[in-house]
Structure formats: structure tokens, C-alpha cells
Structure 1
Amino acid sequence: MRVMQETVTDDLAPPPAPGAEQHPALDFANSAVALPGGQFVDLLGTPDATNQWLFQHGLAPVDAGLRDMCASQLRSLREQIRALLASHVDDHPAPADALNALNTAMTKAPAAALLHWDPTRGLYRTASHPVTQILDHALAVLATDAADLLTGPDAERLTACPSAPCTRYLLRHGRRHWCSTRCGDRARAARAYARRTQGRSG
């Protein structure tokens, strides 16, 4: 499977799916994009790409300095959220590992900056590691939003895009059940081709 680098993802990745504006966790789950021709775009594929995605969603400063481990933790949470979305859409029991991962992430963010003492500065409050605090905050926000999506009024509209090879999720709106115009056009073209093929063979 070919992985496209983050420098070209803006051109290749489809626009956010319906529901992504209300639920950043939905956009987060959709940040790994399967494309026709065996191409694949991972918007969290590198620390820089991950930092850019978090910055665009108001979850990190533009210069947060995320490392490989940070991006890896976010990709891991993304897969657990996708597992929960899939189990909900398919009406299957929620995977225990995914539930544990989400609950752990929701409780990661520190409630307050801790109190420290330094001979020069005296008493002061700060996070023990700013980058870790940024990451934990992002994980907690995304996990909480995913939990709200799965248990709130929008849960009944949650569905998977049926246009292969797309693997994105969306909130249905009226008759629309594709994640993008591109997927809708591809699905309609596939149906038209199947009808023509069937007509010639009949």
C-alpha cells in the first residue's frame, strides 16, 4: 500500500465528511484516508503532519514540537476510536480494548498545573512537561468527543461511507450517505457501469 507524504495530502484527501465540523473526533477517525488505486493518505503520518492537524483543530500551537511517540499515541487512539465507530455502525459489541483506551485517554488531561519550588524562582505552577501536557489534552478532548458522539443524539446518524475503497465515517443528512461528492460520483459511476455491463451480457 503506497503512503503519500503530508506535503501532498491537502490535494489528495477529500474534504471533511458531514458531521466533522461538529465532532472533531469524527474528523480524527477519518484522518487515515484510503484512495482509489491503492493510494493511502495519513494526515497523522509524521510528527509535523500531526502537529499541523492538531493546530488546525485548535488542539496544539503551531510549534508544539511533537515527537514520533506523540504521533504514534494519537494514531493508536484513532484506531481505537475507529474500532468503536465500526462496532456501533455494524451493531456489534464494543471492543473492550477500545473502551479501555478511550476511558484512559479521557482521564489523561491534568486538571491543574502542579505546584513546584525552585531556589531562584520560589514557588511556581507549571506542567511538568509542556509537550506531554499538549498531547494529553488533545487525547482527552478527542476521546471525550468520540464518547459524546457515540452516546449522544447524533449516534443514530453515524454511518460508514459505502463507496469503496473509502473507509471514512460520516453523519447521514437526508438522503446523503456518502462522505464526499467524490465518493458519491464514484459510487454512481460504478452503478451505471454495472447496469451497462449487465445489459450487454443479458
Structure 2
Amino acid sequence: MRLVKETVETATAEPAPPPAPGAEQYVALDFANSALALPGGQFTDLLGTPADANRWLTERDLAPADAGLQEMCTAQLRTLREQIRSLLAARLAGCAPPASALSALNEALTRAPAASLLHWDPARGLYRAASHPTTQIVEHALAALAADTADLLTAPEADRLTACGSPPCNRYLLRHGRRHWCSTRCGGRARAARAYARRAQPKAD
């Protein structure tokens, strides 16, 4: 699936970083990282509004640009994101995943319609179409994201799953070597914090 660099920013927050390592392989990882904690107590939600969510899905070939998402559908995406983050956190902690998160993922996997319904219109005659096209688009997107999450969590790459080691960043990534940072920006911040901590240590007499 096609991934693009996000450029969303708030009036006071720094721009969102590029996709974390692994997001080019697993769109579910990019989805989980679509709510970003930034320095200075700032927060950016790339699914914050229906327009934001529609753009995010479109840029990843999960919905057409004119899907016309509404808040109800956007809220479903944000809810699934939080459940996926719970599953990733449980995998990192080596503990059993929350039952609610498993149920939410499995529901998303099975709710996408397999076929369009048959309709009748006096002018058109019999034809097939989704009962609610926008809802069906979102359900297919939810199913695709859930399936990608299941693939990630059961793949050998799951052993490389880690959380960014540069607070306050809350992103997940697939580790390469010893790297525990999701971006060069986070890596620089972590190194600066370590250097400051060393300088602040009291010198022995």
C-alpha cells in the first residue's frame, strides 16, 4: 500500500515526523502511530476530523478522495486505533492481550460486506450496490487495517516490534539493529537528554 510523508501540524506543534520504520511494510503500524504525542505537551491526531481521516485513508489507497466520511465513521477508526495500540502494547509487554481489543479486531475483520446487495429502481431496473456506500468504504478500510494488524502480530517481524525510546514520543516501530527511535529527530532528542543527564550528575569528591 502506498505511504506518504505526513505534513500535518498544529499552530503550536512541530510537524509530524515521517512514517516510523516498518510503516512502509505494515500500514497497521502507520495507523497505530496516527495519534502523536509531541514535545511541549502538544498532540497531533491525523484522524482528528472526518476530513483528516478521509485524507489519511485516501493517501494509503484505503478510500476514494470523495468518500465523504462523517464523524461516526471517523470515531470508529479512532476506536479501532486505540484497540490496536492495546494489542501492540501487550505484545511488547509479553502479556495476554485485552479481550476487548481482540474482540474489536475480530469484529472489524468480519464486518466488511462480501458482496453488494441487489436493489430495484423503476428507472434502472435491478442493480447491485452497497446499502450505504460510505459505511461500506469504512468497513472495508477497518477490515484491511485489522487484517494487517493480525499479520504484523503473527509475523516473524513481531519480534522486532518496539516503542520509540525518546519521550514523549508514543510511536511504535520495527527495530533495525539496536535502534529504538522512530525518527532521526527522536534519536537526536534522546541523545541530547542523555548528554544533559550526564552533565547534571554531581561530581564525586
- TM-score, structure 1 length as denominator? 0.93
1:66 to 57, 64, 69: 69
Give matches, 1:92-111, under 5 Å.
92-111=95-114
Question: Shift of the alpha carbon at 1:146?
Answer: 0.4
Query: In structure 2, what is the equivalent of residue 8 of structure 1?
Result: 9
1:33 to 33, 36, 39: 36
Question: Shift of the alpha carbon at 1:120?
Answer: 2.1
Instruction: Go from structure 1 to structure 2 and tell me whether the alpha carbon gap of 1:95 and 1:171 turns closer, same or farther (over 3 Å shift).
Output: same
Question: Shift of the alpha carbon at 1:119?
Answer: 2.3
Q: What percent of counterpart residues are identical?
A: 70
Question: Shift of the alpha carbon at 1:11?
Answer: 5.8
CA contact 2:14–2:38 (8 Å) conserved in 1? no
Structure 2 residue 89 is matched with structure 1 residue 86: yes
Instruction: Go from structure 1 to structure 2 and tell me whether the alpha carbon gap of 1:201 and 1:101 turns closer, same or farther (over 3 Å shift).
Output: farther
Moved over 3 A (4+): 199-202
Query: In structure 1, what is the equivalent of residue 3 of structure 2?
Result: none
Question: Shift of the alpha carbon at 1:114?
Answer: 1.4
2:138 to 135, 138, 156: 135
SS in 2 for 1:40: strand
What stretches of structure 1 of length at least 5 have no aligned partner? Answer: 1-5
Give matches, 1:98-177, under 5 Å.
98-177=101-180
CA contact 2:8–2:16 (8 Å) conserved in 1? no
Distance 1:7 1:163 in 2: 21
Query: In structure 2, what is the equivalent of residue 3 of structure 1?
Result: none
CA contact 2:8–2:15 (8 Å) conserved in 1? no
Structure 2 residue 56 is matched with structure 1 residue 47: no
SS in 2 for 1:107: helix
RMSD (Å), alpha carbons: 1.6
Question: Shift of the alpha carbon at 1:18?
Answer: 0.2
Query: How many residues were matched structurally?
Result: 197
SS in 2 for 1:94: coil
Deviates more, 1:112-121 or 1:31-40: 112-121
Distance 2:37 2:90 in 1: 20
SS in 1 for 2:56: helix
Instruction: Go from structure 1 to structure 2 and tell me whether the alpha carbon gap of 1:7 and 1:81 turns closer, same or farther (over 3 Å shift).
Output: closer
Question: Shift of the alpha carbon at 1:32?
Answer: 0.2
Residue 41 of structure 1 aligns with an amino acid whose one-letter code is T
Question: Shift of the alpha carbon at 1:108?
Answer: 1.5
Distance 2:120 2:162 in 1: 51
SS in 1 for 2:111: coil
- Note the alpha carbon deviations across 1:107-164, whole angstroms, 9 max, x for none: 1111111112222211111111110011001000000000110011111110111110
What stretches of structure 2 of length at least 5 have no aligned partner? Answer: 1-6
SS in 2 for 1:128: coil
Deviates more, 1:75-84 or 1:173-182: 173-182
